[in-house]
Amino acid sequence: MKVHVNGIDLAYSDEGQGHPIVFLHAFPLDRTMWAPQVEGLKDHYRIITIDLRGHGESDAPMWRYTFEQFADDIKGLLDHLSISHATCVGLSMGGYIFFALYKKYPHLIHSAVLADTRAEADTENVKAARYSMAQIAYTRGATAIADLMLPKLLAPGSLETRKDIVDQLRQMISANQVSGIVGDLMAMEERPDSSPLLKEFRFPTLILVGEHDCASPPEEVKRMAQHIPGSHVALIPQAGHLSNLENPEAFNLALTQFLEDLPAVEEAMEAEQRRSVQMKEGIDGGELLFLKNPLDGIKKCLEIKGFDNDISRTNFFCNPKNVYISKPPDMATTSTRNLMREKNGKASQPRVTEKEERGIGMFPFISGNLPKIEDLYHSPF
């Protein structure tokens, strides 16, 4: 199937019913790399696989690609399919795209599986290698990229013993257009460091890695898990970078167990959030604001209280539990008064007047979710 989104025709498959799972493939492959997972899960879940722009049956425009573009493509497809949120499974480059999707459209993420990927940006050496690979793709074509990539994608022994997988991957890579391969390489080279995002994740997360993955070594992938609250790691034995293809039984088992446990995990996470939230009496309706970003929380308070939604014209101060916001009495005619001025090099919390108290709103801190207080004091908004 195809749909026209974000200026291109995007190819995808949609099989099964139930909770939606969106699979994001690796470089330089296509959606058929997920065949073992489609077969293993389609009887219980709705499985969406995508040929990302530049791959498979999707358009491969000759122009620079960015992961923000990929995120827009996925958002357009999910809108077309009337999917408001889903479990996202991203392997290698698919993981990079997941980070961009989360950053731009966090509401789409129900839960995540990050396989054989990393959050850090490319080192200078890796950037140089991507440039060299782009030149090879331009001068020698996709088949030369297959020769280069196969040793990186598979465990050391698989090149000799798994001819079926080798042939499948060679055909998959060789079928891609050079414009897509080069576009991917530029997008990967330019991607930012996504490590700061990890601590924000407030959804169930599973991390998978092949035992013999040379491109994303297990110790590096496990290190990423240390920054994701409540995440779990599973090592896929007898597998390299493409752990879903080299050992689909172990990959599917870990994925299925994660999906089956989602209701219990979600309940535990919600209970922890409820325990960590302390509300100030008087907020309209006593509404609990489970928000991922302090700026979003402040905007929500403004909306609840009917304030101007322009943060630059709103005062706020905080204590270790809450962020309070107030509308200056003469907001229409005066510039913002910053209630968090520094005194003797240290942030202070000035007293709020009774007049300001009548217009106050409150955003509760969620344990482990927001910046340290000292960071918030010096934040630009």
Tell me the pLDDT of the chain averaged across its residues: 79
Instruction: Provide the pLDDT confidence category of residue 2 given band limits of 50, 70 and 90.
Output: very high
Q: Show the tokens assigned to 30.
A: 């296509």
Is the per-residue pLDDT at 286 higher than 50?
A: no
Dump pLDDT digits (tens) for 28-50.
Answer: 999 999 999 999 999 999 999 99
The answer on pLDDT for 329 being more than 50 is no
* More reliable by pLDDT, 163 or 362: 163
The span from the CA of 252 to the CA of 122, in Å, is 29
Distance of CA 31 to the CA centre of its chain: 19
Tell me the residue type at 98: F
In the predicted structure, residue 371 carries a pLDDT above the cut 50: no
What is the token pair recorded at 31?
Answer: 């959606």
- pLDDT tens digit sequence for 129-150: 999 999 999 999 999 999 999 9
Q: Note the pTM of the prediction, 2 decimals.
A: 0.72
Q: How far apart are CA 99 and CA 114, in angstroms?
A: 10
Query: What local confidence, expressed as pLDDT, does residue 269 receive?
Result: 63
Q: What is the pLDDT of residues 242-281, one digit of tens each?
A: 999 999 999 999 999 999 998 776 676 666 555 554 433 3
Confidence of residue 300 (pLDDT cuts 50, 70, 90): low
pLDDT of residue 282: 36
DSSP string, 276-345: H--PPTTSGGG-----S-HHHHHHHHHHHHT--S-GGG-EEEE-SSEEEEE--TTTTTSPPP-S--EETT
Instruction: Give the three-class secondary structure for 58.
Output: coil
Q: How confident is the model at residue 297 (pLDDT cuts 50, 70, 90)?
A: low
Q: What is the pLDDT of residue 36?
A: 98
Whether 74 contacts 84, CB under 8 Å: no
Question: How far is residue 105's CA from residue 33's CA, in Å, rounded to a whole number?
Answer: 25
What residue segments make up the domains of the chain, in order of their start? 2-270, 284-377
At 70-95, the pLDDT tens digits run: 999 999 999 999 999 999 999 999 99
User: What's the CATH code, domain 2-270?
Assistant: 3.40.50.1820
- Residue-wise pLDDT for 188-241, tens only, equals 999 999 999 999 999 999 999 999 999 999 999 999 999 999 899 999 999 999
Q: What is the pLDDT of residue 370?
A: 38
In percent, the amount of the chain with pLDDT more than 90 equals 66
- Per-residue pLDDT tens digits for 247-256: 999 999 999 9
Residue 291 and residue 297 in contact, taking contact as beta carbons nearer than 8 Å: yes
Higher pLDDT, 324 or 185: 185
For residue 127, the number of C-alpha atoms closer than 13 Å in the C-beta half-sphere is 10
CA distance 306 to 300: 10
